[in-house]
Structure 1
Amino acid sequence: MTNDGNMKDATETYSGFVGLMKWGTIASVAIAAIVVLLISS
């Protein structure tokens, strides 16, 4: 089905995607908190 090269590439791509989603979520929460603080003051 797949050889080792394809699986290695897929694993690296998936790891990059998960990292991007993690940091994107953290950034979104931080920006939302800043916006809420600005609106409430």
Structure 2
Amino acid sequence: MADDHEHGKMDIKEQEKTFDAFITWSTRVAIFSVCVLLFMALVNS
């Protein structure tokens, strides 16, 4: 069964969509975290 596999022939559209969504979510969480930390630093001083 493994002999039938041809490298580079698999459809990876779903994996690419999932990865793009993960990167988008991670970026938004990071930006939100930085904003919260900046807000806390400004309010605390």
Q: Same fold (TM over 0.5)?
A: yes
Structure 2: state its 5+ residue gaps: none
* TM-score (normalised: structure 2): 0.75
Structure-1 residue corresponding to 2:20: 15
1:30 aligns with 2:35: yes
Q: What CA RMSD, in Å, does the superposition of the two structures yield over aligned residues?
A: 1.4
Paired residues in the alignment total: 38
Point out 4+ residue stretches in structure 1 off by more than 2 angstroms. Answer: none
Which digits, 9 at most, give the CA deviation of each residue in 1:1-41, with x for residues without a partner? Answer: 5731xx1100000000000011111100000000011111x
